[in-house]
Each structure stands twice: as structure tokens, then as C-alpha cells.
Chain A
């Protein structure tokens, strides 16, 4: 993907840019908001990563200006602020996602991947598949290797979320937001315990592991 990173802090900026380059993306790094606005308007980017506080033009105004100019490139806003107000303000300005500093690279990378491949509003599938597992969204039944798997509603939602994003890492916070609608950071490993319950039903009785842990990032169901 072609990614534009606008971040005034050199350490954070090069950390993000280098990391994304290592993952095979083409990255442009800029340090001021006004330069960023010009570059964002002329270059065709797949995703933009914008720091909220920038010299010249702040990130929020930059996002607003771009959206005002009908630029629909997905934008991930980086911020040091993490109040509910700030998140809603950021999303209202037109950002697609919001990441609070400090963040782990895995979290950023997973969110950028999610933004770059937003689910297309094509035909809604009725069956989701991964290897020998089948999830029927109409009957809400899950079958693996011909055997029915009994899931609680929330376990079903968690598995469905991972299946719909096959091949992409989903971080703990992404899962908390999408499956439980929780926008704060619980101090208990609630996601881990839920994933381990799901694994006990989906993976343990079978010989291969479907749900993978990505170290330092989150979870993923491998795409075939």
C-alpha cells in the first residue's frame, strides 16, 4: 500500500515509517501539517497516518480540510489525548480510526491493514469458511471437520469477527471495540480469556490451530 505518515516527532515518525516499509509498504514521511495537506491532496495514498498535534496545521483541521475537499482516503489519527471527547472529536472530524500514544507497532500495523482493506459492501456472505471450519450466519451454527461446535453468542461474534477479517491481525483493543463495544483499556486480560475459551471449543478438540496468536500484536485466522 502507499501510505502517507504526517508526524512531527522524528523518533515516532521514523519508527512508524521504517516499520511500515519493512512490511512492504511505500511510505512518505512529512513533519508539518501544511506540507502534509499539500502532499495528501496531490499524492494518491491508500491510507494516511496523521498526528493530531502538528506544527503549521493541526491534525484535526487537516482531516477536516481533506474531508471538506471530498478526499476519502482512510485516515488513522495518532494522538496523545485519550478522553472520550477526544476520540469522538477525532472521528467526527472525519478520521476513520484513532490510536492513542504510546502504541505498539503491531497495533498500528493491524489498524492500517484494516483501514486499507475496508470490507467492500459487496454481497453479504451467508457462510464463512476457514480451512475445515464453517460458520453459517443464518442458522448461526458452526461446524468443524463435520462436528458441530457449540458457541455462546459472544464467542460466535468473536469468531465471526476474526473470520470476516481472515489473514489480518486483530489486536486486543480492536476486538474490544468491535465485539464488546468497549473503548477503554481494561486492566484485566479479558480478551485473552475470551479467546482462550473460544480456542478450547474451536481448536482444542481438533488437530490444527485455527486462531493464531501474533506476538506483540493480537490474533488472526490464517487465510488459505
Chain B
């Protein structure tokens, strides 16, 4: 079980939500501004068109040529060509106009910047003009009105956007991320408590986060309640297994007491004494199996992690090999130890790790013929500490390797030899408790059982 670190900011839900909200907010504001800009612009364009149409209508309404020319001459003098261009072309081609030259156009259309090149409209003329013309008595009148109002509109909207939107965005981002960070801290507190609980520290609780009783605070409370009831049910499970252990072990104790008394009685013939002896052996075996099962169940509770302390696997392996050296010699096995020079320290429970090594050595002693070699090895590999017990015996077929870790499972050929079939299950449970990977591999020939302790240190 490795402790996971807090997720990177992009994967944090509150921060991501804040980011998305700010994005949506910005898009909505920009769309609103865009819409308003578009509506005003269209309206301005229409007004301009109407003005042009009205002015032209005023000219066409004048029936007499003299009067019209008089009026046009007046208007041409008054009109500023930067705003309004008036061109009256008589039927003979002569012009009255406030600009030296202007393209002769029919219908209503917009003249843009590029089309006005080479036409002198004076300093500060509009970038584009709306142009319209109409036939009048004695010629044709062309009117062009500058569209600078519309150009100004864009500038006005840009400034309004800059003044209102940017500060709003900055404030929203600031508050959004502050709120998100706050939520994030709470989420991390909850996550931290849950990680601790997963690691077996059931007393871990989400700290009181203060502030409003919002949904996260409520989740924190709910997690604490859950942890409380989990601890309570773990405790009652422990109590139940303790009761079962007590209720079953007491009768077993009685049986072994009775057998012991029977064995010490003098009026027993040798055959009966042999039966009693076998019955006592069987009781011992029941007790062993029973204790191993209880131990595995207890280990799976994970509570032992609370007592983890640094353990030097090299020293432990050396000590265990020394314990088994005479036994190995008696059964004709060669038991050797291969250790790295550097100490191999892992976080763990010394007794349990010692039992792992003992079980693996016993397994090898039991399942390999005399003359076989058994190597206990502790090594460093990358970031991990490896503990392995390898033999050169008959090994375990590949398709059976998963099975041998199962409780009470025994290979067909091992049925007759002693052992509870729980040795490797216990090893697996202890490995799991320590977050170590248990790997069974082919030693060509023989079996290699290796525990990979990740994150072990050399010092």
C-alpha cells in the first residue's frame, strides 16, 4: 500500500470546476458584448441608410431644375466632405460637388477604405462611406455619408469591454481559485484521512475544517462516522473471532488435557498408548492449522501496520538461516545465505518478517530431497529490496504457482508430507500487509520465492 500524493492541480475537481466556470463566464460576457455590438451596429447602419434615403428624397422632390441647383450649391458649400459627400452630375457631364472626384456608382452600397484610394476627401475623412444615388431633374445626385460612427462604435465597445470585463475576470478568477483552493484543501484532508484508514490506521479522522457546514464538511463528518462504525465493526469482528477462538480452543485444550492424562495413566497397553500418541499429534496439528488461519485473518485486518518499524532484512535473514542451519544439516540440505554488503532496511514487523523467512526455509526443507541447495538472498534492485528463498529441488509447475498461495492447498505429491498447507498463505498475507509483491518463479531447476519490498532503503 503506497501513500498517494495529492492529485496535480488539473485533476483536482474544485480547481477544474473553478476554471470551467471562469471560462463559461468569459465566453458568456464576450458573447453578450458581441451581440450588443452587432445589434447597435446594424441599427446605426439602418439609420445612416434612412438619412441618405431622406436626403435623396428631398432632392428628387424638387421639380424645378433651377431650384434644385440652387439648393445643391448651398448644400455642397455647407457639407463637410469628411462627413458628407455630395456629387451632382448634370446631364451634360458637368458636376457640382464638394470633392474633386468621386466614383460614379448606382444603387446603394458601402465604399470601403481600399476603394477610396486616390480620392482626396481631406484630412480626417471617414474610412468608409455609405453611398447612394438618385436621378433628379437635369441630372443625377450621389450622396455619400461617412461611417465613422460605426468605426467609433467598435472603439467604444472595446473600451467598455476593457473597463468592465477585465477587472471582473480578474476578481472572478481570484475568488474562484481561492474558493477552489479552500475546497481542495478540504478534499485533501478527506483524502488523507481515507488513505490513512486504507493503510490500517482506523483511528485516523478528517480534521474539523471549521467554516460553514457545507457539503464537503458534511462529507468529512460522514467519513468520520463511517470510520467510527468501521472501527466498531472491526472491533466486533475481532471480538467474534476472539470468541470463536476461545470457544473452540477451550474444548481443544480439554481434549489435549484428557489425552495427556490418558497418556500418563499406567494401565495402558502399548497399542492404546500409540493411538493416544497419534491423537495428541493430530490435536497439535488442529491447533497449528487453527492458529495459522486466525493469524492470517488477523493480518488481513491490517492493524499490525501501526507497529511498523525499520527492520534490517539482511540481519534477519542471517539470523533465521543460523536458526535452521543444524536442521538443514540433519536433513542433508545445503543452506546458504547471500547478502548485499549494505543493510536492507524495510518498514515492517520483525516477528512477521522472521516468520516469512522461517516458513520459506521450512517449505524448501520439506519439499526438496536431501542434497538440495537452499539459498536465502537479500539484495537491492533499483528502488526495491528483494528477499528470496530459492532451492534447486523439483520446483512447482507454472500452472500450479498461483494455487500454492491458496489456503490449505497442497500439491498432489505433497499430500503425504507434513505441513498444514498454510505456510505460503501466511507468507502471502504477511507480504500483502507489508505492501510487498510475492513472486514465485522457476529457479531452473527448483523454486524461487521472492518478496519485492518497494521503497526499501539501503541505510
Contacts and interface: CB of A to CB of B under 8 A. Distances in A.
Contacts of B248: 80
Given A53-B246, A182-B323, A11 B257 contact: yes
Contact of A185 (B254, B291, B322, B352): B291
A212 interface: no
Interface residues of B, number: 45
B406 to A, nearest CB: 19
A177 B330 CA distance: 23
B294 A193 contact: no
B77 to A, nearest CB: 109
Chain A CB count within 10 A is highest, among B245, B287, B349, B352, for: B245
A189 B418 CA distance: 13
Interface in A144-198: 154, 180, 182-190, 193-194, 196-197
A26 interface: no
A42 B35 CA distance: 95
Nearest to A182: B354
Interface in A1-34: 9, 11-12, 15
Interface in B254-280: 254-258, 260
B307 A189 contact: no
A209 interface: no
A12 B358 contact: no
A85 B326 CA distance: 31
B291 A100 contact: yes
Given A80-B242, A82-B295, A188 B249 contact: no
B26 interface: no
B149 interface: no
Interface in B338-358: 349, 351-352, 354-355, 358
Contact of B242 (A15, A81, A190, A193): A81
Nearest to A180: B323
Contacts of A183: 351
Contacts of A154: 322
Interface stretch (A65-73, A101-109, A110-118, A131-139): A101-109
A197 B326 contact: yes
Given A83-B295, A85-B303, A101-B250, A184 B327 contact: no
A38 interface: no
B55 interface: no
* Secondary structure dominating the interface of A: loop
Interface string A50-64: 000100000000000
Given A84-B352, A189-B327, A104 B242 contact: no
Contact of B324 (A85, A105, A190, A216): A190
Contacts of B329: 193
B304 A84 contact: yes
Interface in B232-254: 242, 245-246, 248-250, 252-254
Nearest to A176: B323
A127 interface: no
B319 interface: yes
A154 B287 CA distance: 30
A77 to B, nearest CB: 13
A199 to B, nearest CB: 12
B365 interface: yes
A88 interface: yes
A84 B349 contact: yes
Contact of B254 (A11, A81, A105, A194): A11
A154 B319 CA distance: 10
A107 to B, nearest CB: 11
A184 B283 contact: no
A9 B257 CA distance: 12
A174 to B, nearest CB: 15
B298 interface: yes
B248, B253, B298, B319, most chain A CB atoms within 10 A:
B253
B242 A53 contact: yes
A42 to B, nearest CB: 28
A216 B327 CA distance: 21
Contacts of B288: 185, 187
Contacts of B362: 186-188
A103 B257 CA distance: 9
Nearest to A106: B260
B326 A193 contact: yes
Nearest to A154: B322
B419 interface: yes
Contacts of B349: 84
Most B CB atoms within 10 A — which of A12, A102, A184, A196?
Answer: A102
A184 B252 contact: no
A188 B246 contact: no
A11 B252 CA distance: 11
A83 B252 contact: no
A211 to B, nearest CB: 15
Given A9-B250, A188-B327, 13 more contacts: A9-B254, A11-B253, A15-B257, A101-B249, A104-B256, A104-B260, A154-B322, A183-B351, A184-B354, A184-B355, A185-B288, A188-B324, A216-B260
Of all A-B residue pairs in the complex, the 8 with the closest CB atoms, nearest first, are A102-B253, A193-B326, A80-B249, A83-B298, A11-B254, A80-B246, A80-B245, A15-B257
Interface of B: 242, 245-246, 248-250, 252-258, 260, 283, 287-288, 291, 294-295, 298-299, 303-304, 307, 319, 322-324, 326-327, 329-330, 349, 351-352, 354-355, 358, 362, 365, 418-420, 423
19 contacts: A11-B254, A53-B242, A80-B246, A80-B248, A80-B250, A81-B294, A83-B294, A84-B307, A101-B252, A101-B253, A102-B253, A103-B253, A180-B319, A182-B351, A182-B354, A186-B323, A187-B288, A188-B327, A193-B329
